[in-house]
Amino acid sequence: MQITVQGEFVPVALVQLLPSEEIYCEGGLMVYCDPTIRVGIRAMTQGGLGQVMRRSLVAGIPFFQHAYMGPGYVAFSRSRPGEVRTLELQPGQTVDIAEHSLLVATTSVQFSTFYVQGTGRIGRMLGFWMDRLTGPGTVAYHGYGNILGFDLKPGEAMDIDHGALLRKDATVNLKAFNQPLGGGMVGHALSFEALHVEGPGRLEMQTVDPTRGASSS
């Protein structure tokens, strides 16, 4: 399989599949493909029926993924300005990607999801889902705006906005918290939600919050 990133403002990942190759993705991402490409569905059963129902009914994550089988070319896009990156996962290597950021992955990549517990405040910090991908195989993902990368040493930490989180190694710890705006009761009442991340591992952020962009459109 070969992936070529095309375009700058709203890029696509153009995938060349051989006859024996297959990839999967969310539905609605395909831009165009050769007539020789076969399309099917792939059930998201990871975590059991209870977790699948929770993901689908609460988070709005579909029950199925789409599968594309070669030979031929097929292009995918998130239809929003940003960057597309590819990553070759080694056997056993695990990365976490923000939900609705994954473009495609080869079928050799194990897919699961996990829930990040929020602070309990009304709003997005009630919690959110991330995709967990384990190699071997190739993945392509989309970052909104520009992608910023950091290699965190053991114990090195950063506080980031929830919408900035794009990708992290599974070794990077993540916890939601409320950031007060000053001291006292007023400062706590006006606090905003953020994420505390701590190394070791790779962290990638995006400069545009896709949830704010969607709500303002």
Blockwise average pLDDT, block size 10, the chain, 217 residues: 93 96 93 96 64 58 84 96 97 95 95 82 67 96 96 96 94 88 66 87 95 52
pLDDT of residue 62: 62
Q: How far is 167 from 200, CA to CA, in rounded Å?
A: 14
User: What pLDDT is attached to residue 155?
Assistant: 95
> For the purposes of burial, counting CB atoms within 10 Å of the CB of 199, is it exposed (0-12), middle (13-18) or buried (19 or more)?
buried
8 Å CB contact between 89 and 139: yes
Q: Measured between alpha carbons, how far is 129 from 47 in angstroms, rounded to an integer?
A: 13
User: Taking the model in full, what pTM does it have?
Assistant: 0.85
Q: What's the rounded Cα separation, in Å, for the pair 192 and 102?
A: 27
**Assigned token pair, 63:** 């029950």
Domains identified in the chain, total number? 1
Q: Give the domain CATH number at 171.
A: 3.60.160.10
Using DSSP, state whether 205 is helix, strand or coil. Answer: strand
Question: What is the residue range of 156's domain?
Answer: 2-216
